[in-house]
Each structure stands twice: as C-alpha cells, then as structure tokens.
C-alpha cells in the first residue's frame, strides 16, 4: 500500500522531519532543538534479528563517540520495530544512539524506502547524512556506509561549514545595527546592574514595583543572571534609543513594523556554563508564539568566549562591538557559548506587534 507514496530523495533535497518513538517509548522529532544545528547521521536498518544489521550497529557502537566529538548526532530507525530487542541490543553493545520505531512504515516512505523491499533484500541499511541546513548531502547503502566512511564524510561536511570561502560566508539572517546605544548608555546599564539589589527566586507580580534579578537556567546552565529593568527614567532613555535607532532598521531589513516589546533585561554571563550544551528557539511555546524578533545589544567587549552561535548556519559565533544590536527571528536556533574569561553583559528583549499578540 505504501509503495506509491515513496519518492526517493536526491542529494541536496530538504530532509523530511519525522517523529518517532525510541526504544524507551520517548517521542522524538528529527529536527527538534536537541538535534538541530548539527549534522545528523540517520540510519534506516532492517530487522535487528539480521546478523548483518546487528554487526553494522555493533560497529557504530565502537565509533559513535568519535562521531559525537565531530558534533554530529547518530539516529537509528529499525524496521520492523522491536523495542524489547532494541533495548537488549543496546545493553549488549553499549550503543547510545536512539533506536526509533517505524510501526507502519511511513518513516521509511518519507525517505524514499519501501518497507519490506529495500531493507529486507540486499540492503540491510540505508544511511542519510544531513547537514545543519537540513539538506541531504550523502545517501549510502550498507555496502558503502561503514562507520569509517560516514565519519570521513561528516568531518568533510563540518570542515566545509567552517571554511571561509571569501564570497558567501556562513551568515545567519541576522541584522546588525552599530551604535544602537552610546558607550555612556552601556556603562550606565552595567553600573545599574552591579549597584542594584533585589534578587528573586521567582518573578514578582505584575503590579510590584522596582527592578529585580533572577537566575536564567535554560537547559540547566549555571552562568546567567538577568536584571529586569523597571526604572521609569532608564526605560524612557532605552526606549528612545531603540525606537530611533533600531526599529527603523528592522522595518527596512525585514519589512516589519515593531510596536511592542517585552521587558528589557540586562543579562550577565559569568563563570562555567555547565548544563546541556544545546541551542533553543524563542517562540516554540504557546505562551511565546507571538514573538517575532529577538533583540541583543552588546554592553561590553572585555571578555572571552560568550559568542552568539546559529549552528544551523555556521559554527562561528557573533560578537558585537559595544552598543551594537543584533536582531534576528525568534524562530532561529541559537545559543550563547560559555564566557571563558571576564563577564559578558547584554541588553535583551523580544519584539513583536499588535497583530502578533492581540489583547496581550
């Protein structure tokens, strides 16, 4: 029944996003934030009862640490699914990669495979290497997809992504606005942060006055404390700068008229990041779906590390000069890397319009 729906993928095609259950029954999505922004090695294999399939996956268990060190994710989808057998196999081999289930064969079909035909015949596995841009860059049958061959292909892919070709760098769609704040503004904000108290373990109520600080532990990171600006005089000064210097540039670059913003935060990054080293998007929850753009204004530059990275486009990060603003879509995967020396200060917020959040 599924054969008419199978459309073989070509090199350069946009890889379909698929959702599946792993061997523990956890729902995973191929391009969720935990996997996005890095190369993905997607292996469709036949039954785990086949000797050639078990031998192939056993080879993967020996080299998947090298693959992870290259920044790639290994994901395996078995046909037919057998969660009990998959858990047993992972215990026996030490394999860490999730083994997904394709109960009705629709995952294979989306990648041009027909259940019960390709993987049940001469090809015990089919491997797709997917770039951080979600492009299919390699398609390999079992005979040509040894872990060593795939590893070399991933190394080549990551080195090409970092290569400076001089004509089109790996630039994310980020608007850079120099001089969004004056140096005096930046100095004032840093002093305001350091000289104000009011640390809270939970945000205050909407009608409670005054600035406050709170820890931001996205993905359990341990290096960020935000200061929410509520001082009327300071807000008036900042809003004037943003309205005059940043919003016209957003209108010109993105044809979007911003007339709303969230609260303004002074974010401080200091010390070891720890936690889980992955990026995030700013509008994935129902409560944040109205966000259109993220605003980040650099307040200092006397620190090391702390770069803003968009891994779906490049592994190279962004650092702004003092007072410069970075504006980017809330849908972009991004992360702030660890500040390895000194302290990083940024003024941040999220921008939108009345139509994005009616009644908010």
- pLDDT tens-place string over residues 158-192: 877 666 555 556 789 999 999 999 999 999 999 99
Question: CA nearest 307: which of 336, 341, 276?
Answer: 336
The CA distance from 112 to 118, in Å, is: 10
Q: Provide the pLDDT for residue 219.
A: 87
Question: Would you place residue 133 in the very low, low, confident or very high pLDDT band (cuts 50, 70, 90)?
Answer: confident
Least confident range of 4-13, 126-135, 165-174:
165-174
Mean pLDDT of 303-316: 92
Within-domain flag for 135: yes
The answer on pLDDT for 153 being more than 70 is: yes
pLDDT of residue 316: 86
Asked if 197 and 72 sit in the same domain, the reply is no
Nearest-angstrom CA–CA distance, 346 and 78:
46
Q: What pLDDT does residue 336 have?
A: 94
Residue 327 CB partners (closer than 8 Å, separation 6+): 174, 175, 177, 246, 249, 250, 253, 293, 294, 295, 296, 351
Contact 127, 43 (CB under 8 A): yes
Lowest mean pLDDT among 14-23, 81-90, 138-147: 138-147
- Strand 344-352 to strand 325-329: parallel, antiparallel, or no bridges (unpaired)? unpaired
Classify residue 347: in a domain, yes or no.
Answer: yes
Confirm whether 169 is domain-assigned: no
Q: Is 58 or 7 the better-scoring residue by pLDDT?
A: 58
Do 153 and 185 reside in the same domain of the chain?
Answer: no
Residues 181 and 287 in one domain: yes
93/194 same-domain check: no
Residues 149 and 208 in one domain: no
Q: Where among 162, 194, 223 does a domain terminate?
A: 162
Same domain, 239 and 147: no
In contact, 154 and 41? CB cutoff 8 Å: yes
Highest-scoring range by mean pLDDT, 62-66, 118-122, 231-235 = 231-235
Whether 195 and 340 map to the same domain: the answer is yes
Q: 111: helix, coil or strand?
A: coil
**pLDDT given at position 128:** 93
- Mean residue pLDDT across the chain: 88
269 strand-pairing partners:
224, 344
User: Phi and psi at residue 28, in whole multiples of 5°?
Assistant: -120, 150
The most distant pair of C-alpha atoms in the chain lies apart, rounded to whole Å, by 73
Q: State pLDDT tens for residues 26-53.
A: 999 988 888 888 899 999 888 888 888 8
- Helix ranges (DSSP H) in the chain: 51-69, 83-93, 106-110, 147-162, 183-195, 232-241, 247-254
Check whether residue 127 and residue 239 sit in a common domain. no
Q: Is the CA virtual torsion 302, 243, 226, 190 positive or negative?
A: positive
Structure tokens given for 329: 């879509």
Residues 38 and 128 in one domain: yes
Domain match, 212 and 297 both: yes
Domain, as residue range, for 265: 175-352
Q: Is residue 136 situated within a structural domain?
A: yes
Count of beta carbons in the 10 Å neighbourhood of residue 182: 13
Decide which of 4 and 254 is more confident: 254
Domain CATH code at residue 318: 2.60.120.620
Task: Tell me, yes or no, whether 170 lies in a domain.
Answer: no
Dihedral angle computed from the Cα positions of residues 176, 182, 184 and 185, in that order, rounded to the nearest 10 degrees:
-70
My answer on whether 111 and 246 are in the same domain is no
> What is the chain's length?
360
Per-residue pLDDT tens digits for 271-302:
999 988 888 999 999 999 999 999 999 999 99
Main-chain phi, psi angles of 156, to 5 degrees:
-65, -40
Q: What distance in Å separates the CA atoms of residue 307 and residue 300, rounded to the nearest whole number?
A: 13
Total domains in the chain come to: 2
> Based on the domain organization, do 125 and 203 belong to the same domain?
no
Question: Which CATH number is 70's domain given?
Answer: 3.40.30.10
Closest-CA residue to 170 (of 279, 318, 298): 318
Does residue 41 lie within any of the structural domains?
Answer: yes
- Whether omega for the bond prior to residue 297 falls within 30 degrees of 0, making it cis, is no
DSSP code for 135:
B
> Does residue 79 register a pLDDT over 80?
no
């Amino acid at each position: 029944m599924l054969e008419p729906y199978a459309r073989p993928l070509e090199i350069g095609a946009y890889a379909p996003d698929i959702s599946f259950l792993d061997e523990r029954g956890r729902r995973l999505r191929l391009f969720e934030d935990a996997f996005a922004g890095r190369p993905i090695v997607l292996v469709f294999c036949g039954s785990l009862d086949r000797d050639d399939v078990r031998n192939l996956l056993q080879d993967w268990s020996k080299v998947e640490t090298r693959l992870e060190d290259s920044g790639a994710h290994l994901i395996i989808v078995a046909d037919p699914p057998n969660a009990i057998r998959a858990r047993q196999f992972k215990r026996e081999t030490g394999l860490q990669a999730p083994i997904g289930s394709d109960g009705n064969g629709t995952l294979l079909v989306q990648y041009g495979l027909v259940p019960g035909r390709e993987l049940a015949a001469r090809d015990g596995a089919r491997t797709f290497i997917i770039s951080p841009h979600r492009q299919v860059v390699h398609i390999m049958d079992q005979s040509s997809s040894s872990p060593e061959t795939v590893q070399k292909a991933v190394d080549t892919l990551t080195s090409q992504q970092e290569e400076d070709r001089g004509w089109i760098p790996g630039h994310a769609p980020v608007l850079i606005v120099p001089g969004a704040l004056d140096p005096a503004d930046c100095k004032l904000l840093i002093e305001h942060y350091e000289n104000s108290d009011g640390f809270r373990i939970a945000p205050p109520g909407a009608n409670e006055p005054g600035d406050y600080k709170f820890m931001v532990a996205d993905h359990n990171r341990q290096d960020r404390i935000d200061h929410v600006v509520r001082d009327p005089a300071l807000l008036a000064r900042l809003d004037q700068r943003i309205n005059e210097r940043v919003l016209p540039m957003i209108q010109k670059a993105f044809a979007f008229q911003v007339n709303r913003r969230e609260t303004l935060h002074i974010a401080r990054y200091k010390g070891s990041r720890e936690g889980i080293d992955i990026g995030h998007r700013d509008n994935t929850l129902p409560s944040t779906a109205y966000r259109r753009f993220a605003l980040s204004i650099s307040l200092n530059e006397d620190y090391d590390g702390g770069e803003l990275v968009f891994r779906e486009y490049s592994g190279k990060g962004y650092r702004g000069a003092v007072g410069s603003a970075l504006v980017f879509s809330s849908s972009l995967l991004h992360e702030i890397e660890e500040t390895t020396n000194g302290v990083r200060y940024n003024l941040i917020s999220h921008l939108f319009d009345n139509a994005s959040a009616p009644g908010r």
